[in-house]
Structure 1
Amino acid sequence: MINEILSTLGLIGLGFVFGKMLPSYFSKKGENLATKEDITEITHLIESTRNVFLIENEKLRFNLNISSNLQLGVALEARKSIVEFNEKLYVVQSMTLNIYTYINNMLDINEINRVAIIVKDNYNELSVFESRFRLFVTDEDLRNDAYIIKQYLFDEALPLVVSFLEKLRAYTNTSKYNNLTEKEIDLIKGYNIKSSIKQVEFVTKMDNFQKKCRNYMLNNK
């Protein structure tokens, strides 16, 4: 693309020399035949013009290369932000909707607190990844879809896991047993039912979102 632009400019330059400058020169000399002096001066004129265009072409090539590299860099960052955001979405939904599988010991209050901190950190990171996504992805509809799917996790999944962890922490604090109590078992069952529904809803949203992301990357290489 850059070479085509420069070639076109080169032709324009030569056209300028032969179409404008040389006729002007000969008009001054009259209609006499070109002498040795004339040929020398014409050659100098052409070489001088050629050098000017070579210098300007190099400047233009440099600027076009910078512009091309910037565009390529932005495209690569956009692809990277799409991939990272989708990966973080998966991590967050997996942890949120299967939280009990991340808790090594449900009878350990410190373990419950540790997992709660991990959940909080992942949701904070999800917002950061979504912000980066919006920075590099130019498609407004896709940016809106990214916000919607992120907000779904914040509005629907996060309250579910927070409620579960708070109740589990309360039961663990008051429990005198080394095994899960009936309350804790019922809590897990209730969480599983609700999280399964959210899981189905999220997977549907995620599939549609990923299709749009793939199309965007294919059309913006």
Structure 2
Amino acid sequence: MKSYITEKGKNIATSEDIEGLTSKVESVKQQFLEKNANLKAKLDLLTNLQISHKNDKRLALIDFHKKNKKWIGMLTESSPLLIDDYNNSEIKVKIHLYNQVYQEVLSGEALLELYVKDKDLIKIISDLKISTLKHLAGHAPKFLIKLKHNNNEFKLYEKMPVDTLENIEKKSKKHTGLLEKRKVIFDEYRNNMTEGLKLNMSTEGEYRKYIREYLKNIPEE
């Protein structure tokens, strides 16, 4: 009887030990699962941040490229399109627009600097901007300013009297001279713009080649 009770006690103790161990195992398992879930959440957050950063970098590059292309496109128009070039008010708006578009390029460049750490890319963008300013940026505004002066001369010419044959001849001669001067202004602009475009072409080509390769190396998520 004593042996039975002793054995029974051992069995109870063993059962309690197993329950205790099981409880501890479950507790450790639960802690592991919680830590694992917490770690996974942190990794997911980090991954999402990395994806977001890559997407933001890609978008910043594309945004800058569009703004820069728009700027160069405006500077290389064959003439001030979509405006009345005899209207000084429209010319004034167009000149302001050149500056506005350039400011957009600068803002795009500033945004890009927040995401891009590639020194070569930053340098080639800077080189392109400097080259564009040097070879192209001055021609269009200068051309429009000359047109404004030409328009002002036309206004003065219109006030010339036509009361005598001599005055009529003078006015006709003045009109012809102003038209010829206007043609020279247009020709000079186109020649300067074309030459500037050629000088800028090499730097712009290097930029396009580099940025294409750079974009390829940013995984698209």
Q: Letter of the 2:195 partner, please give it.
A: I
SS of alignment partner, residue 152 of structure 2: helix
The answer to whether residue 57 in structure 2 is matched with residue 78 in structure 1 is: yes
Shift of 1:52: 0.7
- How far does the alpha carbon of each residue in 1:148-202 deviate from its partner, in whole angstroms, 9 at most, with x for none? 2122222332222222122111111112378961111101111111111221233
Root-mean-square deviation (CA, aligned residues, Å) is 2.2
Deviating beyond 6 angstroms after TM superposition, the runs of 4 or more aligned structure 1 residues are 177-180
The answer to whether residue 92 in structure 2 is matched with residue 92 in structure 1 is: no
1:1-221 equivalences under 5 Å are: 35-98=14-77, 100-175=79-154, 176=157, 181-221=179-219
Unpaired runs of 5+ residues, structure 1, are: 1-31
The question of whether the paired residues in 2 share the 8 Å contact of 1:95 and 1:102 is answered with no
Closer/same/farther in 2, CA of residues 99 and 134 from structure 1, 3 Å limit: farther
The question of whether the paired residues in 1 share the 8 Å contact of 2:121 and 2:210 is answered with yes
Shift of 1:99: 5.8
Give me the whole-angstrom Cα distance separating, in 2, the residues matched to 1:62 and 1:99: 57
SS of alignment partner, residue 79 of structure 2: helix
Unpaired runs of 5+ residues, structure 2, are: 1-9, 159-174
Identity within the alignment, %: 23
Q: Letter of the 2:112 partner, please give it.
A: F
State how many pairs are aligned.
Answer: 190
TM-score (norm 1): 0.78
Q: Letter of the 2:113 partner, please give it.
A: R
The question of whether the paired residues in 2 share the 8 Å contact of 1:96 and 1:161 is answered with yes
Give me the whole-angstrom Cα distance separating, in 2, the residues matched to 1:47 and 1:200: 75
Give me the whole-angstrom Cα distance separating, in 2, the residues matched to 1:63 and 1:155: 49
The question of whether the paired residues in 1 share the 8 Å contact of 2:78 and 2:190 is answered with no
Give me the whole-angstrom Cα distance separating, in 1, the residues matched to 2:95 and 2:120: 33
